[in-house]
């Protein structure tokens, strides 16, 4: 990422959530009522205007992003029911879970980790929305490609507590070393029963032979955005990848699983891009 530029992809993804959330309850897959307030209004208008074109160039990508948020929301709810004491949101961007899941507030220690420029922009937006920066969240600035999660300790992170780590839409932009270090930190520094949930692209989709519209575009504009795609896991290999790194109970949620679970009724004809998967695993 560029040192002084906040994440453009974070804006784009939150805009897609905002558009989905404006639909009627029976039509929407995810619901993030804060997204509209968090995003830059110009980016909102641009994404809305070009949504049809984007869908033609990269069929099913927007619906993967929407289903991803829904699935992680459901996973967070189940984790809350299961009694987590800490939540760490890695590469938080404009993630609004810390402010829209009421059960979190006052019960769970929340840490949002993000690139400093993205985090600064979010904090000033939050201060404007709520009148002050919410006190129940610790904001931990980090460059995953240059630092480790050790920084969490300075903000009161407790390795004895059962913790959920959410890593939504981030592994794509990191080096393999940064992904390994993050996974290693979680295994070594969280209580038994802690979990991590993240999504990834199939490594083969990053090679020239398989490129889809959104991948080609992100690589072409990487010098402008500072967010090029660098990391992927081979299809069908996430179980092995995570068990080699000390995790168990690895569960994948493929595009087919997402489609079966969420895209029913009037949403049954919506397509989900076949190159992304969500995975969760237990320490």
Ligand X SMILES: C[S@@+](CC[C@H](N)C(=O)[O-])C[C@H]1O[C@@H](n2cnc3c(N)ncnc32)[C@H](O)[C@@H]1O
Please give the residue ranges that form the binding site for ligand X (CB under 6 A): 1, 7, 9-10, 13-14, 91-95, 114-115, 118, 142-145, 168-170, 173-174
Report the alpha-carbon distance of residue 11 to residue 107 in Å, rounded. Answer: 29
Q: Could you tell me if residue 83 is left (phi over 0), alpha (psi between -120 and 50 degrees) or otherwise beta? A: left
Which residues have CB under 8 Å from 47's CB, separation 6+? 12, 15, 16, 19, 54
- Residue 279: CB minimum distance to ligand X, A: 15
Nearer to ligand X, 86 or 171 (CB): 171
- Residue 142: CB minimum distance to ligand X, A: 5
Nearer to ligand X, 193 or 233 (CB): 233
- The answer to whether the beta carbons of residues 212 and 56 sit under 8 Å apart is no
- The answer to whether the beta carbons of residues 168 and 199 sit under 8 Å apart is yes
- The answer to whether the beta carbons of residues 88 and 158 sit under 8 Å apart is no
Nearer to ligand X, 59 or 228 (CB): 228
Phi, psi at residue 195, to the nearest 5°?
Answer: -135, 160
Across the chain, the runs of DSSP E, i.e. the strands, are 86-90, 109-114, 137-141, 163-167, 195-201, 248-253, 276-282
Report the alpha-carbon distance of residue 113 to residue 111 in Å, rounded. Answer: 6
- Residue 221: CB minimum distance to ligand X, A: 14
- Report the SS3 class of residue 2: coil
Report the alpha-carbon distance of residue 231 to residue 162 in Å, rounded. Answer: 28
- Residue 166: CB minimum distance to ligand X, A: 8
- Residue 141: CB minimum distance to ligand X, A: 8
Nearer to ligand X, 3 or 268 (CB): 3
- Residue 269: CB minimum distance to ligand X, A: 25
Using Cβ positions, the residue closest to ligand X within the complex turns out to be 93
Nearer to ligand X, 92 or 205 (CB): 92
Q: Token digits for 115?
A: 């690139």
Nearer to ligand X, 133 or 243 (CB): 133
């Amino acid at each position: 990422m560029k040192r002084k530029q906040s994440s453009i992809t974070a804006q784009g993804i939150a805009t897609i959530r905002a558009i989905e959330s404006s639909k009627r309850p029976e039509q929407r897959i995810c619901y993030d009522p804060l997204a509209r307030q968090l995003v830059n209004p110009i980016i909102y208008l641009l994404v809305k205007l070009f949504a049809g074109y984007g869908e033609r160039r990269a069929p099913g990508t927007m619906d993967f992003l929407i289903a991803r948020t829904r699935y992680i929301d459901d996973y967070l709810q189940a984790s809350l029911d299961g009694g987590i004491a800490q939540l760490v949101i890695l590469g938080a961007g404009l993630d609004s879970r810390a402010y829209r899941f009421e059960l979190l507030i006052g019960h769970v220690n929340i840490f949002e980790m993000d690139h400093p420029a993205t985090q600064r922009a979010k904090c000033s937006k939050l201060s404007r929305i709520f009148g002050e920066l919410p006190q129940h969240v610790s904001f931990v600035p980090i460059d995953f490609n240059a630092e480790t999660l050790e920084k969490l300790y300075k903000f009161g992170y407790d390795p004895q507590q059962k913790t959920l780590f959410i890593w939504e839409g981030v592994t794509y932009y990191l080096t393999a070393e940064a992904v390994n270090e993050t996974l290693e930190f979680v295994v070594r520094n969280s209580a038994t029963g802690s979990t991590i949930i993240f999504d990834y692209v199939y490594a083969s989709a990053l090679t020239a032979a398989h490129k889809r519209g959104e991948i080609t575009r992100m690589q072409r504009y990487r010098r402008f955005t500072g967010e090029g795609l660098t990391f992927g896991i081979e299809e069908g290999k996430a179980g092995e990848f995570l068990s080699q790194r000390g995790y168990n109970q690895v569960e994948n949620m493929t595009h087919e699983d997402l489609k079966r679970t969420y895209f029913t009724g009037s949403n049954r004809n919506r397509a989900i891009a076949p190159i992304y998967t969500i995975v969760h695993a237990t320490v």
